[in-house]
Amino acid sequence: MTSRLLDGISHRGVALLAVLLAVLLAAPWIANDYLLTVLIIVLYSAYTGQAWNVMMGFAGQLSLGHAIYVGLGAYAAAALYVHFGIAPWLGLAAAIAVAVACGAIIGFLAFRFGVGGVYFAILTIAFAEFARIGFDHFQWVGASSGFFLPVANYTRNDLWNLRGDPTMFYYVMLALTVAAFALCHVLLKSRIGYYWQAIREDEVAARSLGIDTFRYKMYAAVLSAGMTAVAGVFFAFYYNNLFPEQVFHISRSIELILGPIIGGIGTLFGPLIGAFLLTGLSEAMQELLSALGFDAPGAKQVFYGLCLLVVVMALPGGVWPWLAGKLRVTRRDP
Amino acid sequence: MAAEIYLNVAVSGLLTGLVYGLMAVGLSVIFGVVRVVNFAHGEMMTVAMYLAIVLFNSLGLDPLVMAVPLAGVLFVLGYVMQAGLINPFITRPEYSQFMLLIAVAIIVVNVLLIAFGPDARSVQTSYAFDSFLVGPLIIDATKVYAGAATLVITAALFAFFQFAPLGKAIRACADNYTGALIVGLNVKHLYALTFGIGAACVGAAGSMLVLLVDVTPSLGPASTLLAFIIVITGGLGSMAGAVLGGLLIGFTEAMAGLFFTPSAKSMFSFGLLVLVLLFRPQGILGKRVS
Amino acid sequence: MMDLLSVEGVSKRFRGLLAVDNVSFRVARGSIFAVIGPNGAGKTTLFNIIAGMFAPDRGSVDFAGERIDALAPDEICRRGIGRTFQLVRPFPALSVEDNVVIGAMLRRHDPAAARRHAREVLARLDLFGKRHQPASALTLPDRKRLEVARALATEPKLLLLDEVMAGLRPAETDRMVSALTELNREFGLTILLIEHVMRAVMALAARVLVLHHGARIAEGAPAAVVREPAVIQSYLGAEAVD
């Protein structure tokens, strides 16, 4: 298993990965509260980015509505917790089930009816917007006035109910991110990963090689939806409030995919690098602007947009492929 | 009595839909020729809308009259955007083009936010409360003017693509990129012109829409989505389809607002979009592309 | 029955155009069969019908004793028909080797086993040395070879080759011809090829079918077919007879 996990990564890459993991594990002892919160956001983005990467980066299906899976997961687990007192780890199963069902429906409709490319992307937006407006009127979970999880002062961390301090949430998110990373690595090295890449590269050619492209695209849609829903559960219990206008909004879907695209679409490290870069950039921008005494709302996003523009124009394949070349971490001969 | 309300709302929805249709025509023209989905379309329209508001508030210029000069301003903006920014992305994958335009959209939304703040703005013309009585119908004069102006502009655009040599050249470019290159058409220039024309549509539409809706920076992304719904329903790449889609969506939303709650009205548009994508992905008037 | 593939009365119309007009032929197990004809004769359409890209309007296609004309392309490949595309379709971002590994995975689910098999196939088609290059970096002749390698890696009983010699230099054509001959002899691989390069057709095929405007105008041994007046008139031109 370990040998398979490290397949295709050079010794230098393994060493860098170990250092990165050690730093991330030690972070709560080193970092202050602010930095820890930022790191939670980084890991959250890396995780959701990786989940999206499965669908777009690996299987080539451009989803611009992934907020729907975050939202469904978040609302499913939160509703079970608030209304029936069901612990989030059990709620997680329901969250995954709901998101998987939704992913399967969208995937089935799109892939059976031959909706692809830009049209598929817009279909996913339509579903997400549909859900947003629907939840705005869904009284059982608070509709547009929001859905709130009970917040009390916790004397100790309650991992079973996901109630606790940022350090606990940090480790939960780190574990999820590492698990997603390992899962994607193994998948990419197995038949399903090769088949996804074949579909991404040329679906007609893939079919001519005996690949049931419908089935493998469904696997990608369903897995990506399920993985994203897990992040939704985390989101609900970390922030303790859910508003349809926030969780389902198209800008959430866009934020979610910026990381992997900036980092390097279809690569394992892309989502992680992209999350670090974008979150870091965003926070640094905030600091810089408040240091300059210029805190107009939107100023941060303008710079953010400009940086995005520069990266997209200068590094079409994303940062990671370029960085990997510099660090010499990819191995030619697996 | 009840029937008259429905009729009034329907007519009002159709007239608003016409103006939305003009905005969508812009998106459709750009996609039809350049094959790029302009994810910053609604954001470009809000630029025109704020310009119209500034012109009205500072100089008292009527947005209906300003529709033409603002179309010109947006044309230049669109031309520059295509020539300077988007052209290198023509051959890149869809997600890459998407990222570029999203970056543009983020910048536009937030520059507007810095410049004008998050509060809704609108203009009050002298004829804002005028209306026409047509039999049992009471129709807003503003909507009639805007709808009529939209028809004129759209007709002019149709004529341009149908009869003007330049319009024909652009169509040739859309039909056969390589062929257009071979016969010596300056494709980059034509693409930039097309993007400019598409932007001019939102310039005119935006200028007129400030008479009908309140403007906030966040109207940009919402309008982009609306434009998507309209063009896909009507047929991406078809101008007549965009107009038809605008009418259909204007009507649907007006009726849904009447029968259900206004806040849920766009759910019906998205529902319609999903149905069209599944059962007639080329749109109502679109041609099936292989 | 000795026939591996049997096409009976197949027709296909695109809008007004009758692309394939009532075509029938049989390909014997272990043989090499060629389809020739001028551009637009319906050869590629015929191929796409066999490979499952289009369903025929009329007629049937039987493979290894089973009817396959209603099946999807991936199912047809799983039954044992490998194909190449006239306009090559490699997976551009993947390495040459990974392109072939994906083909090999049809019969070998374990990636390591698929990779071993892929390397054997690559060696057979002179691509072993280029296996780490991205497919997008290959020259056209190499891409044609890659198409063949990828299809071969699925271990087909029948290999459909759509103009794999086009654009190759004579020496490269000869090399490809000998590779295909070896495959046919060693493994009994049945090959159905569309080809314009008559040098290759004459060297490879035991039987030739000539299409013109979608219809069959001749069939038989290559040496006999090229002497038929209808064939000369429609396609080959007088000089080909020499």
User: What is the domain partition of chain B in residue ranges?
Assistant: 2-118+143-279
Mean pLDDT of C157-183: 91
Kindly report which listed range (A200-204, B135-139, C180-184) carries the lowest average pLDDT score.
Answer: B135-139
Mean pLDDT of A110-119: 85
H or E stretch covering C177: helix C170-187
Instruction: Give the per-residue pLDDT at C238.
Output: 45
| Residue C107, min C-alpha distance to chain A (Å) | 10
Q: Residue C206: which of C230, C222, C185 has the closest Cα?
A: C222
Q: Tell me the pLDDT tens digit for each residue of A25-72.
A: 998 988 888 999 999 999 999 999 999 999 999 999 999 999 999 999
Considering the segment(s) C3-80+156-241 as one domain, its CATH architecture is 3-Layer(aba) Sandwich (3.40)
Residues 6 or more apart whose Cβ sits within 8 Å of residue B64: B145, B146, B149, B207, B208, B211
Mean pLDDT computed over every residue of chain A:
89
Instruction: Give the per-residue pLDDT at A298.
Output: 81
Estimate the crossing angle of helix A88-112 against helix A213-239, to 10 degrees. 140
Mean pLDDT of B14-26: 92
SS (H, E, C) B64-92: HHHHHHHHHHHHHHHHHHHHHHHHHHCCC
CB contact under 8 A, A201 and C78: no
- CA–CA dist B54, B77 (Å, integer): 18
Q: Does A218 touch chain C (CB under 8 A)?
A: no
Mean pLDDT of B70-90: 94
Q: Tell me the pLDDT tens digit for each residue of A182-239.
A: 999 999 999 999 999 999 999 999 999 999 999 999 999 999 999 999 999 999 999 9
CB-based burial of residue A283 (10 Å sphere; 0-12 exposed, 13-18 middle, 19+ buried)?
middle
Residue whose tokens read 């049931």: A212
pLDDT grade for A9, boundaries at 50, 70 and 90: low
Assigned token pair, C104: 């090999």
Give me the residue from A144, A298, A308 closest to B103, CB to CB. Answer: A308
Mean pLDDT of C197-219: 90
DSSP character for A216? Answer: H
pLDDT at C170 over 60: yes
- CA–CA dist C139, C143 (Å, integer): 6
DSSP-derived 3-state class of residue C58:
strand
Considering only CB atoms, which chain A residues are within 8 Å of B88? 313
Cβ atoms within 10 A of the Cβ of A203, count? 17
Assigned token pair, C223: 């040496």
CB contact under 8 A, A308 and B110: no
- CA–CA dist A208, C83 (Å, integer): 7
| Residue A76, min C-alpha distance to chain C (Å) | 37
CB contact under 8 A, A126 and B98: no
pLDDT grade for A5, boundaries at 50, 70 and 90: low
Which domains can be identified in chain A, with CATH numbers? Answer: 2-327 (1.10.3470)
Instruction: Give the per-residue pLDDT at B81.
Output: 94
H or E stretch covering B225: helix B219-234
Residue contacts between A and C (CB atoms, under 8 Å)? 75
- CA–CA dist C152, C142 (Å, integer): 15
pLDDT at C239 over 60: no
Q: Cα torsion at C162, C242, C25, C46 (round to 10°)?
A: 30
Q: Tell me the pLDDT tens digit for each residue of C64-73.
A: 999 999 899 9
DSSP character for A161? Answer: T
Q: Tell me the pLDDT tens digit for each residue of B249-266.
A: 999 988 888 888 777 788
Mean pLDDT computed over every residue of chain B:
88
Give me the residue from B88, B106, B266 closest to A301, CB to CB. Answer: B106
Report helix, strand and coil shares of chain B as percent, to nearest 5: 75, 5, 20
Q: Does B262 touch chain A (CB under 8 A)?
A: no
Mean pLDDT of B221-232: 90
Strand order in the sheet with C215-220: C81-83, C158-162, C190-194, C32-36, C207-212, C215-220
Considering only CB atoms, which chain C residues are within 8 Å of A198? 91, 94, 102
Kindly report which listed range (A173-187, B247-261, C172-186) carries the lowest average pLDDT score.
Answer: B247-261
Mean pLDDT of C169-190: 91
pLDDT at C241 over 60: no
One-letter amino acid at B247 equals L
Share of chain A above pLDDT 70, in %: 94
Interface chains of chain A (3 or more CB pairs under 8 Å): B, C
CB contact under 8 A, A305 and B266: no
Instruction: Give the per-residue pLDDT at B182.
Output: 76
H or E stretch covering A104: helix A88-112
Assigned token pair, A289: 């602007």
Instruction: Give the per-residue pLDDT at C240.
Output: 46
CB-based burial of residue B219 (10 Å sphere; 0-12 exposed, 13-18 middle, 19+ buried)?
buried
Residue B127, φ and ψ in degrees, nearest 5: -100, 15
Q: Tell me the pLDDT tens digit for each residue of A126-149.
A: 899 989 999 999 999 988 899 999
Q: Tell me the pLDDT tens digit for each residue of A283-315.
A: 888 888 888 877 777 887 888 888 889 888 888
pLDDT grade for B187, boundaries at 50, 70 and 90: confident
Mean pLDDT of A240-245: 94
pLDDT at C172 over 70: yes
CB-based burial of residue B126 (10 Å sphere; 0-12 exposed, 13-18 middle, 19+ buried)?
exposed
Kindly report which listed range (B93-102, B258-267, C117-126, C198-207) carries the lowest average pLDDT score.
Answer: B258-267
Considering only CB atoms, which chain A residues are within 8 Å of C77? 207-210
Residue whose tokens read 């799983």: C78
Q: Residue A132: which of A292, A278, A245, A11 has the closest Cα?
A: A245
Instruction: Give the per-residue pLDDT at B93.
Output: 85
User: Residues of CATH 3.40.50.300 domain(s) within chain C?
Assistant: 3-80+156-241
Instruction: Give the per-residue pLDDT at B287.
Output: 67
For chains C and A, tell me whether 3 or more CB atom pairs sit within 8 A of each other. Answer: yes
Instruction: Give the per-residue pLDDT at A334.
Output: 41
pLDDT grade for B7, boundaries at 50, 70 and 90: confident
Mean pLDDT of C101-120: 95
- CA–CA dist C131, A170 (Å, integer): 43
**CATH numeric code, B2-118+143-279:** 1.10.3470
Kindly report which listed range (B86-95, B152-161, B169-178, C96-105) carries the lowest average pLDDT score.
Answer: B169-178
- CA–CA dist A104, A218 (Å, integer): 7
Mean pLDDT of B205-222: 92
- CA–CA dist C73, C156 (Å, integer): 13
Instruction: Give the per-residue pLDDT at A6.
Output: 61
Instruction: Give the per-residue pLDDT at A156.
Output: 74
- CA–CA dist A305, B85 (Å, integer): 14
Residue C5, φ and ψ in degrees, nearest 5: -125, 135
CB contact under 8 A, A202 and C51: no
Mean pLDDT computed over every residue of chain C:
90
Mean pLDDT of C197-204: 87
Beta strand C207-212 pairing with C215-220: antiparallel
